[in-house]
């Protein structure tokens, strides 16, 4: 899976838990199915592992109903080991009670975060745990750790 983080760790911060409260059907153009001009996506939403949900193509594609972005994301992310279809490219973020990305539904870090009721792993007393370190290694996304480290520093 490719990293989809951008920006610097200083830009990462927590926002509202339910994006659906901010972006809803009234913000989507009825003809094109895309986000209406002038509607601003919310600030960054940080997943349990530190990935930035609100910058993820699966998250954006669902919010904006963008099938072209879904198709491109399938091309970019799909592999023999992790095959994807266009209908897999939908996500409400892993910390939300909505629909997570296909592989996030099986994520042990997500499961743990939901059980502990933390906003993300930076808020956990066991941060960083072995499960989280293993996930970071698998994802090859050092930006995820940087994001959580920055949040963790702001809590001390």
Convert the pLDDT of each residue in 17-42 to its tens digit. Answer: 233 333 444 555 555 555 455 544 45
Q: Has residue 50 been placed in a domain? A: yes
User: How sure is the predictor about 93, in pLDDT bands with cuts at 50, 70 and 90?
Assistant: confident
Among 119, 128, 115, 137, CA closest to 53: 119
Q: Has residue 46 been placed in a domain? A: yes
Place of tokens 């349990």: 48
SS3 8: coil
Q: Has residue 128 been placed in a domain? A: yes
pLDDT at 26: 52
Q: Has residue 90 been placed in a domain? A: yes
- Over residues 95-119, mean pLDDT: 86
pLDDT over 90 (residue 98): no
- Domain count across the chain: 1
Convert the pLDDT of each residue in 36-85 to its tens digit. Answer: 555 444 567 899 999 998 888 999 999 889 999 999 999 999 989 889 99
Q: Has residue 4 been placed in a domain? A: no
Instruction: Name the region of 7 (left: φ>0; alpha: ψ -120 to 50; beta: rest).
Output: left
Q: What is the residue range of 20's domain?
A: 9-151
């Amino acid at each position: 899976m490719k990293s989809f983080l951008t920006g610097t760790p200083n830009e990462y911060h927590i926002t509202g838990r339910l994006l659906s409260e901010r972006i809803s059907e009234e913000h989507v153009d009825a003809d094109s199915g895309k986000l209406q001009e002038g509607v601003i996506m919310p600030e960054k939403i940080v997943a349990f592992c530190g990935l930035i949900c609100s910058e993820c193509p699966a998250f954006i594609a669902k919010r904006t109903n963008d099938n072209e972005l879904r198709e491109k994301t399938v091309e970019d992310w799909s592999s023999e080991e992790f095959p994807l279809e266009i209908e897999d490219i939908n996500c409400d973020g892993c910390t939300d009670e909505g629909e997570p990305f296909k592989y996030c539904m099986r994520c042990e870090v997500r499961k743990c975060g939901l059980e502990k009721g933390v906003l993300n792993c930076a808020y956990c007393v066991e941060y960083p745990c072995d499960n989280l370190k293993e996930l970071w290694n698998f994802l090859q996304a050092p930006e995820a750790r940087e994001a959580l480290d920055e949040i963790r520093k702001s809590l001390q």
